[in-house]
Structure 1
Amino acid sequence: MLTHLFPATNLYAVSSRFGTPDDFKRLVDEAHGQGLLVFLEIVHSYSAADEMVGLGLFDGTNDCYFHTGKRGHHKHWGTRMFKYGDLDVLHFLLSNLNWWITEYQVDGFQFHSLSSMIYTHNGFASFTGDLEEYCNQYVDRDALLYLILANEILHALHPDIITIAEDATFYPGLCEPISQGGLGFDYCVNLSVSEMWSSFLENVPDHDWSMSKIVSTLMGNKNYADKMLMYAENHNQSISGGRSFAEILFGEIREGSPDKEKLLLRGCSLHKMIKLITMTIGGRAYLNFMGNEFGHPERVEFPMPSNNFSFSLANRRWDLLANEGLHLNLFSFDKDLMKLDENERILPRVLPSIHHVNDNSMVIAYIRGPLLFVFNFHPTDSYEGYRIGVEEAGEYQLVLNTDERKYGGQGLLKDDQYSRTTTSQRSDGLRNSLEVPLPSRTAQAYKLSRILRI
């Protein structure tokens, strides 16, 4: 997924920082040749306030494309807000969508920060889920009509196009067909997931992590569960003054510290477990923010006055993969996780049956397709034979183990522990059960390899 820089100054231009328009066309062609789809994160929810290269004072007035007065300015970001009820603005934005498809053959769009445009308070309000919050005087109906028009026109002109909504408020009908009163998006992003993980890592002691909250957040709004896309970590966690997960987990570990190995093991374990459960528990797609696959140690920061226009953080440290150690271990796990999805088709399957959530033992277990996933988030307690219910009697083979040495783990499980056979003891409301060894801060995926007929 490619993205405009925020906030965009020219919606019709590829940034020259990355090359020429022809370079971008070659990139799209190469991606399509590899069987990949290319999406743009399109920023139609606000615009740069820049009057030199942006749309500010474009015709010499202050309201050519934007609302006048306070309504024309984002309350917190200093950006300009489009007046979606203006015919010329609609022509400009709708043409922009069509242009990227016809000129560059992109496959779809993720519409950035819809809450900024849907509400006159720009989404900076508390939401309880009450329907009134989505229908009151703070809703910009012109913005809603623009989104409906955008989806209607895009899908009519380009039937295979995919549109994705990024809306933290889960506006009702976001992914419902327009004919049924919805906004017409194909999918939406569950932004709550990355915010939850970031909050846990920075603010909540490991012993106090709530398994119930993890499950409820990852499953998201039940109305959209089948249309949900997941990030473990997105750009909000590593730009705008934030920190990447790896920076939180590893950034304060000092060379020579007596607890260095212990802290590295904790960080490496949680990094892998967060990715595994986020990808496999819910939704139809898993999105990776660049560098998360190998635990990028620093945030992204573009040159700006606050850093004396430095480029030192405007990069990704791919060179870290040239050396043995933490980042290569995390990358190896990520590759095997992708391989597991490729082999078992996890994401296209029906959403999982989550049958075990224990806040005391800090264990979560669920079944998706032929795979049983088990997570032990407890920071200290390990379990030699933890009983988990399964419906199908038989032999289960361990196919992914976050604690393997090649992933930076301790390798506590022996070869003879990789195969487990069910017993007829009922557990978790299911007919059969497995006893599995669960070291602390580890996760496992088992596959039913042989069915026992009783």
Structure 2
Amino acid sequence: MPALCLSLSLGGIGFDYRLAMAVPDWYIKTLKEKQDIDWDMGSLCFTLTNRRHGEKTIAYAESHDQALVGDKSLLMWLIDAQIYTNMSVLSEFTAVIDRGMSMHKLIRLITHSLGGEGYLNFEGNEFGHPEWLDFPREGNQNSFHYARRQFNLPDDQLLRYRFLNDFDGKMQWMEEKYGWLHSPQAHVSLKHEGDKVIVFERAGLLWIFNWHPSNSFTDYRVGVEQAGTYRIVINSDAENFGGHGRVKEDTRFFTTPFGWNGRSNFLQVYLPSRTALVLALENTL
């Protein structure tokens, strides 16, 4: 599209963002080739933050490369065949579904918060579209079978897709309130390969991710620059997002004036496995 990136004053469309194409590729490659315990925290952070300073970037967790050309959607890679048998609240909440939903929330949240200055949903990614999309072509015998987007799924209260969709809404509303997409890039204070924990600060918020498949941590110490009393504004393990409700939503976290991981203060949190917590200063609620 000629002039797509030229400014409006020069007759262009004014699209001045880059697309972080390496991000969805990283997720799919890692899901295909590595066990959860082998995920590389440093590589994940590098991929999400590897952009030229001041050059706006749109991040996304999956794209047409994965979901439109006969591959699998992100949720399909995570839970595979159980997407057809155990996504109903009337069916067993299996370890596979638990893992898939938890990871889907973490992947989207860290991409949204750390990956750029814009965020792109793709073809039902916000609720975990169950299948790829494919248009009729010679390669599929001109089939219409996958030529549909199943946007009805999150509206069914008996399906677990609604939990993923509600979590997406929480992300969007919190970004509307705190504006991390138009704030300076994050400061990453921790990438712990053994614990599988990532901690960073952006837009005055403290972001804590525990990617470990089995280990939960009590009184986990994380650094934060700004002192004060913090409260939870996003909890991926909340029951209304399909989680286990292992963290009390009304918990107050108090900082201690002691340097930790290069930050001036620290606070301590209970951090369940495959859970992300986002904390904000109490006076910003």
TM above 0.5, one fold?
Answer: yes
- Indicate yes or no: 2:49 matched with 1:215: no
Q: What residue in structure 1 maps to residue 80 of structure 2?
A: 251
Distance 2:11 2:151 in 1: 39
Gap regions ≥5 residues in structure 1: 1-41, 43-93, 98-108, 110-149, 164-185
Q: Which residue is equivalent to 1:197?
A: 27
State the distance in 2 between where 1:238 and 1:398 align: 33
Q: CA deviation at 1:307?
A: 2.4
Give how far 1:260 is off. Answer: 5.5
Give the drift of 1:306: 3.0
| Of 202, 213, 216, the match for 1:382 | 216
**2:198·2:208 contact (CA, 8 Å) conserved in 1?**
yes
User: Is residue 57–residue 117 contact of structure 2 (8 Å, CA) maintained in 1?
Assistant: yes
CA positional deviation for 1:345:
1.1
Alignment partner, residue 109 of structure 2: 276
TM-score (norm 2): 0.91
Instruction: Check conservation: 1:226, 1:351, Cα contact below 8 A.
Output: no
1:306 matches 2:139: yes
User: Alignment partner of 1:337: what SS?
Assistant: helix
CA deviation after TM superposition for structure 1 residue 332, in Å: 0.3
Match of 2:204 among 350, 370, 373: 370
Shift of 1:415: 4.2
* 1:393 partnered with 2:247: no
Once residues 49 and 272 of structure 2 are traced to their aligned partners in structure 1, the CA distance between those partners, rounded to angstroms, is 25
Q: Would you say 1:162 and 2:14 are equivalent positions?
A: yes
Deviations 1:196-219 (A, max 9, x none): 011112221000000000000000
Q: Deviations over 1:272-321 (max 9, x none)?
A: 00000001013110111120011000001111233221111111111212
> Is residue 132 of structure 2 the alignment partner of residue 293 of structure 1?
no
Kindly provide the amino acid, as one letter, of the partner of residue 136 in structure 2.
Answer: P
Q: Output the aligned Cα RMSD.
A: 2.1
Structure 1 segments (4+ residues) deviating >4 Å: none
1:236 & 1:376 partners in 2: Cα distance? 28
SS across alignment from 1:347: helix
Which residue of structure 1 aligns with residue 183 of structure 2? 349
In the TM superposition, what are the counterparts of 1:125-204 in structure 2 within 5 Å?
151=6, 155-158=9-12, 161-163=13-15, 186-204=16-34
CA distance in 2, matches of 1:278, 1:393: 26
Q: Distance in 1 between matches of 2:278 and 2:74?
A: 23
Evaluate the alpha carbon distance shift between residue 352 and residue 326 of structure 1 in structure 2; reply closer, same or farther with a 3 A threshold.
same
Contact 1:229 1:283 in 2 (8 A): yes
After superposition, residues 39-50 of structure 1 pair within 5 angstroms as 42=1
Q: Any idea what the Cα deviations from partners look like across 1:330-356, whole Å, max 9, x if unmatched?
A: 000001100000111111111111111
Q: Distance in 2 between matches of 1:301 and 1:282?
A: 28
CA distance in 2, matches of 1:355, 1:266: 26
**Alpha carbons 1:402, 1:443 under 8 Å: kept:** yes
State the structure with more CA Rg: 1
SS in 2 for 1:162: coil
| Per-residue deviation, 1:246 | 1.2
* 8 Å contact kept, 1:239–1:300: yes
Q: What SS does the corresponding residue of 2:133 show, helix, strand or coil?
A: coil
Instruction: List runs of 5+ in structure 2 lacking aligned partners.
Output: none
Displacement of 1:225 in angstroms is 5.9
CA distance in structure 1 between the aligned counterparts of 2:85 and 2:163, rounded to whole angstroms: 19
Matched residue type, 2:100: G
Find the partner of 2:170 among 311, 332, 336.
336
Q: Relative CO higher for 1 or 2, CA cutoff 8 Å, sep ≥ 6?
A: 2
Distance 1:330 1:310 in 2: 29
Q: Tell me what 1:227 maps to.
A: 56
Asked if the contact 2:69/2:134 (under 8 Å) is kept, the reply is yes
Q: Is the 8 A contact 2:18 2:55 kept in 1?
A: no
CA distance in 2, matches of 1:445, 1:242: 32
Aligned runs of 1:417-432 on 2, under 5 Å? 418-432=251-265
Deviation of 1:386 after TM superposition, in Å, equals: 0.7
Partner Cα separation in structure 1 for residue 240 and residue 73 of structure 2: 23
